[in-house]
Structure 1
Amino acid sequence: MGLALGVALGLASSPAPLRAQEATRPASRCDVPADQLAAPAPLPHVLAALKTTKKLHILIIGSPIGIGRGPRKSYPVVLEGLLERALTGIDVNIVDRPVSGETVDTAAERIRTEVALSRPDLLIWQVGANDALARMPPSEYESALRDGVRWAKEDGVDVLLIGFEANPWLHDDREVLAVREATGRVAKTEDVLYLRRFDAMQFLARTRNRVEQGDEPFPAEVGDDCMAELVAQALAANLVLRRTRPAPAPTEP
């Protein structure tokens, strides 16, 4: 992950060399194949910030991740450190504004205030779980999410949506699937990055069970600990693919 992240951000900002420890870093237990994480999407404001101001401002909205699980560093702190270690001369600032139990309709309203206060280049918005728990109709969820994403983009902010993983309190598989599908549709039609957390956690659970744990279940705190790396991986893969894929061949007149 360290090598991929450094390469990606190097492409996005400047030809600064990778730090030695990043280039020799062993594979992480949190590594997930790119196709299990997110499809590429444009991040024009992130790229502009890396090229011009050398500062990357990130706003995190949604349910808290990794709260109350002991003395480990929080996900925003770890994410900030990962990004800053992978870059040379880039200052990463993360404003974390989670609200437990918040649904997308109330979050979409709060985003307007938080964006005005922090002026981020990137909004990381975790969505879906509370809406499924509240049995919010998928059509209403999709409409509220789309409105929030569109507003952020129109206000000059790139968006990374983060889905939700398996939850023992989510009993209706059809409703859960409908919310996930709605999130995917919004991400696709609005052309924003969508980290499919459920798919990523399922991959990590299978891999960890085989390699480390035998038949023991995948601990929730490990998934929380991996979130920063997963977000960094998704950003890295996205920047690499967007900057290195060949241009489409011109069509015949």
Structure 2
Amino acid sequence: MSELHITARAGTFGCAARRVIVALAVGLVLQTAAPESGFAAPACPSLQAGTLAANAAVGDPDAAAGAAVALPSLAHRLDEPQPIEILAIGSSSTEGVGASSPAFSYPAQLQGALREIWKRSDVTVLNAGIGGEIAARAVERLTAALADRPIALVIWQVGTNDILQGVDEAAFRDELERGVSVVRAAKADLLLFDPQFFTRIRDFARFERFNAAIAETASARHVPLFSRYAFMKEANLRTPETLGAMLSRDGMHMSDFGYACIADRLADAIRTLTGPARVASAEALVPMANLAGAEAVPH
């Protein structure tokens, strides 16, 4: 269990209480950042075009019949009485760096949201985030974790540290492929979760390439992808103050409000992906080249 490095197992708040507390936290963030600005706490952005890609296999007869699901293992376990375990693995954004407490990390808040959606108290989201970790190390931990326990779904937040630490792009692609294979061999579902968008990115071209690598791997291997990068970038294009509230004081890691937005929208995505495949074409992943062309650093 120490190898897995589970830092938090449970969200301790019901959805209503959680939203009240998050709203208060957001208000505090905004007051601290701009006490004279006068704008109210923003609402979490909706699931926008480009955020979610189901990446169903082309030609799948079940998909044609409207019966295919993008997360079949998790969907099956929802019909069973056994407890459901979801493994959230990744780096600081999974661990919860920037949050005021572990209860505000995205895995803890996601657990509360999924328990409410499914009306089940036996859903556990295991937090296996380690700040600074690159994909190669995450794959090693994934292998050990999946051999140790029956995981229904792996949410793999990946890419940021590989970008920042100068990992070779081809090597990163190889690790993505290896990670997908490890999860598939364990008969678990996988949901990829790409890096965050923030305006202090120094090398946008490198960020765009690595995000494109994740999107291309997800498409080729028919793995669902929740594009946090597209989600946050679009939020910034629409209302920059929303992105500001989603980020912590360092301008890179997420705040309590940011983690709450991610958890709520990720819960919505998982609910969609465990039902018959109905991801509309407008919700398919927007090519990263198109996103890059919109505006590199919005004002």
TM-score category (smaller protein)? 0.7 to 0.9
Given that residues 34 and 237 in structure 1 are in contact (C-alpha distance below 8 angstroms), is that contact kept between their aligned partners in structure 2?
Answer: no
Q: Distance in 2 between matches of 1:73 and 1:80?
A: 11
In structure 2, give the amino acid aligned to 1:61. Answer: I
TM-score (norm: length of structure 2): 0.65
Distance 1:57 1:147, change over 3 A: same
- 1:154 aligns with 185
Shift of residue 48, structure 1, vs aligned partner? 1.1
1:59 maps to what in 2?
87
Give the unaligned 5+ runs of structure 2.
Answer: 1-15, 17-41, 56-69, 248-254, 281-299
Q: 1:170 to 1:118 in 2, by over 3 A?
A: farther
Instruction: Trace 1:44-193 onto structure 2 (pairs within 5 A).
Output: 44-53=72-81, 55-65=83-93, 66-71=96-101, 73-89=104-120, 91-167=122-198, 170-193=201-224
Q: Which amino acid is the alignment partner of residue 150 of structure 2?
A: R
Residue 235 of structure 1 and its aligned partner are, at CA, apart by: 1.2
What 5-or-longer segments of structure 1 have no aligned partner?
1-20, 22-27, 246-253
After superposition, give the CA deviation of every residue in 1:65-120 in whole Å (9 maximum; x if it has no partner).
Answer: 33243246332221111111111346211111111111111111110111222321
Partner Cα distance (1:100, 1:89) in 2: 30
| 8 Å contact kept, 1:150–1:190 | no
| Segment of structure 1 superposing worse, 171-180 or 67-76 | 67-76
Identify if the C-alpha distance between structure 1 residues 244 and 149 changes in structure 2 by more than 3 Å, giving closer, same or farther. Answer: closer
Q: Does 1:35 align with 2:49?
A: yes
When residues 54 and 242 of structure 1 are mapped into structure 2, their CA distance, relative to the original with a 3 A threshold, is farther
Matches of 1:97 and 1:105 in 2, distance apart?
Answer: 15
- Which residue of structure 2 lines up, in the alignment, with residue 223 of structure 1? 258
SS of alignment partner, residue 92 of structure 2: coil
Q: Quote how far apart the aligned CAs of 1:144 are.
A: 0.8
Q: Which moved more, 1:51-60 or 1:164-173?
A: 164-173
Give yes or no for contact 1:60–1:98 (8 Å, CA) kept in 2.
yes
Matches within 5 A, 1:238-253: 238-242=273-277
> Structure 1 length as normaliser, TM-score?
0.76
Contact 1:32 1:204 in 2 (8 A): no
The residue type paired with residue 49 of structure 2 is D
